Structure 1
Amino acid sequence: MSWFREQTGQGPTLLLLHGWGMESRVFAGWRTLLEPYFTCISYDLPGHGRSPCTATGMHWPELLQQLQDLLSREATPPIILGWSLGGLLALGSALSQPQGQSGLLKGLVLMASSPSFRQRPDWLAGIPASTLEEFGRRLQTDPQGTRKRFLALQVLGDPQGRRALDGMAAWPSPDTACLADGLKLLQEVDLRDDMETLTLPTQVIHGAQDRIVPPEAGFYLHQHIVGSQLTMLEHAGHAPFLSRPEQCRDALLECWI
C-alpha cells in the first residue's frame, strides 16, 4: 500500500480526502487558510496524483481497510474531511467501526458528499444512473476528456469555483483503471441503511448550488446522523472550498476549534 502523504500546519489533525478524478493538491490553496489552526494531512487516493494504482485498485473493502491502516499510524486521532467521493470513503470508514465510532477518529466532515451518489427508485438526491453510465462508456475511450467534463459539471453555475478550477483540467489524468474503480463506487455504494448507527461528531458542509450532489443529500446526512451540524453555503457549488474558501474555513473553526 502506498498512498502519497503530505503534512503541514499546526493544531488538531485534519485529514483531507479528495474527490473522483482529482488529487490532494486540489486542496493546496485552501490549506494555506487552514494551516494556522490545523495540522493538515492529505493523501492521494490510489491511482491519483502521486499514488500508484496497485493491484487492489479502488475496491470498496480493500479501500476501507487501507484507510483504517493509515489512520492507525497517525499519532493522534484526526478529524477526517472527505470531499465528494472522499466523503463517501470517510463515511464508510466511520461506519465500518463498531457502532460507527472508533478511537482512530476524532470527528467527521462530509463536504459535498452523499451516502448514495447514484439515483435509485427511492432516492432522487443523486446523479442519474444514465449519467454515470455514460461517463463509464466515455472513460474507456477518452479518460482525460471524461475527467474534464466531470470537472466542468462540478462548477456549473458557480463562476468563482470555475475560476478556481482553471488549470486543474490540465493536470495529468489519474490511472484509468483506478478512475473506473472510483466511478463504480459512485454507482454502487449506498450507505443509507447504516446512517443512524453513526455517533461520531459530524459536520456536513454543502453548497446550495451543487449540480452533482443535490443539497437534499446534505440535508439527509444532517437529519440521519445524530447530533450532526449542517453548514449550507448559499452561493457555492460542488467544490465549496474552492469558491468559498474563507467560509469553509470559518465553518470548520466554529465546529472544531
Structure 2
Amino acid sequence: MDIVRRNNVSVTGNPNGRTVVLAHGFGCDQNMWRMTVPALAEKYQVVLFDYVGSGRSEPSAFSERRYASLVGYARDVVEVCETLGLRDAAFVGHSVSAMIGVLAADMAPKSIGALVMVAPSPRYIDDDNYRGGFSSEDIDELLASLESNYLGWSAAMAPIIMGNADRPEFGEELKNSFCATDPVMARVFARTTFLSDSRDDLKSVAVPTLVLECTQDVIAPREVGAFVHERIPGSTLVTLDATGHCPHLSAPEATNEAILEFLAVQR
C-alpha cells in the first residue's frame, strides 16, 4: 500500500531545512499540531501523519495483530521516514508517541537524529519504586469503561486529560477527536498504550533528547518526566508553565519556544 496514503502524510514548511516529524498521541490526529506547525515551518521542513486507525489514515490497513504492540506503530514511523527518504530528522512525539519515537529511532538510526518527548510516559501503571500515576486497578477500570461505552468514556475523560477547566473548548476538541476515532481501532490503541512498559527501551536512546513535562499532568506526573530524563543520558528536561497533558494546545507558545531552542543547538 502507498505509505503516504496509508498514513495521510503531509509535508510543509522549508524544504531546505532540517526535517521535523510531528507525531500525535492516542485518540488524536495530526490536526493537534496546528499551533506548532507555523512556528516551525519557516526554518524547518515539517512532516505530519496519522497512525493507522487515527485521523484520515487508511482504515483497511489496520491490523489488530500489528498494532497490539508499540512496535507496530514504530514501524509506521520508520516506513514514513523511509518513503520520504528522511535523514537525521527530529522526531517530536506527544504522549505515547514519545515512546514510539524511542523505538523508531532505534530501528532507523539514520532516519531519526533527535527526539522531543512531549509529556512522555514509559509506563502508566505504578510499580516498585516507580510512579506512573495509575494503579493496575485504575487501568483495568479505564479500559473496561472505554470498551463498554467508548463515546461515554471520551466525554468523561477528555476534559480530565486536557486539564485547563477554565478553557473547556480544549476538552471539547479532544473529546471530538476521540469520538471521531473508530471504536474498535481505538480500543486496540488504548490497550497498547496504557498497558505498555517501555522503561527498558529508554537506555537505547543515543540521540539528543528533549523531555517536556507540564507542572500538572494527571496522565504523566512530574515523577515520570524526572524518570525519563534520568534514564536518557544527556537529555534535557524542561518543565513548561502549563497544565494538562496537551501543552501543544493549551500552551503552544511555551511548547514551541522550548522545541525551537532545542532544535537550534542541534547540528
TM-score (normalizing by structure 2): 0.86
**CA shift in 2, pair 1:40/1:221, >3 Å:** same
Equivalence for 2:93: 82
Identity across aligned pairs (percent)? 23
Matched, 1:125 2:132: yes
Equivalence for 2:200: 193
Tell me if the contact between 2:11 and 2:46 (Cα under 8 Å) persists in the aligned partners.
yes
**CA shift in 2, pair 1:232/1:205, >3 Å:** same
Please state how far the C-alpha of 1:35 moved relative to its aligned partner. 1.8
Tell me if the contact between 2:216 and 2:242 (Cα under 8 Å) persists in the aligned partners.
yes
Equivalence for 2:72: 62
Please state how far the C-alpha of 1:119 moved relative to its aligned partner. 2.2
Please state how far the C-alpha of 1:110 moved relative to its aligned partner. 0.6
| Per-residue CA distance 1:59-81 (angstroms, 9 max, x = gap) | 22333223222221233322111
Equivalence for 2:13: 9
Give the counterpart letter for 1:103 in structure 2: K
What are the within-5 Å matches in structure 2 for residues 35-184 of structure 1?
Answer: 35-53=41-59, 54-57=61-64, 58-60=67-69, 61-77=71-87, 78-96=89-107, 102-156=109-163, 158-159=164-165, 162-171=168-177, 172-184=179-191
How many corresponding residue pairs? Answer: 252
**CA shift in 2, pair 1:14/1:51, >3 Å:** same
- Superposition RMSD in Å: 2.1
Deviates more, 1:164-173 or 1:220-229: 164-173
Partners of 2:235 and 2:166 lie apart in 1 by 28
| Per-residue CA distance 1:28-70 (angstroms, 9 max, x = gap) | 2332222223222111111111013434242223332232222
| Per-residue CA distance 1:141-186 (angstroms, 9 max, x = gap) | 3212212323212222x24664444444234421222211111122
**CA shift in 2, pair 1:28/1:113, >3 Å:** same
Tell me if the contact between 1:80 and 1:108 (Cα under 8 Å) persists in the aligned partners.
yes
Tell me if the contact between 1:143 and 1:173 (Cα under 8 Å) persists in the aligned partners.
no
Partners of 1:126 and 1:95 lie apart in 2 by 27
TM-score (normalizing by structure 1): 0.89
Question: What stretches of structure 1 of length at least 5 have no aligned partner?
Answer: none
Partners of 1:216 and 1:107 lie apart in 2 by 23
Deviates more, 1:146-155 or 1:238-247: 146-155
Question: What stretches of structure 2 of length at least 5 have no aligned partner?
Answer: none
Tell me if the contact between 1:113 and 1:213 (Cα under 8 Å) persists in the aligned partners.
yes
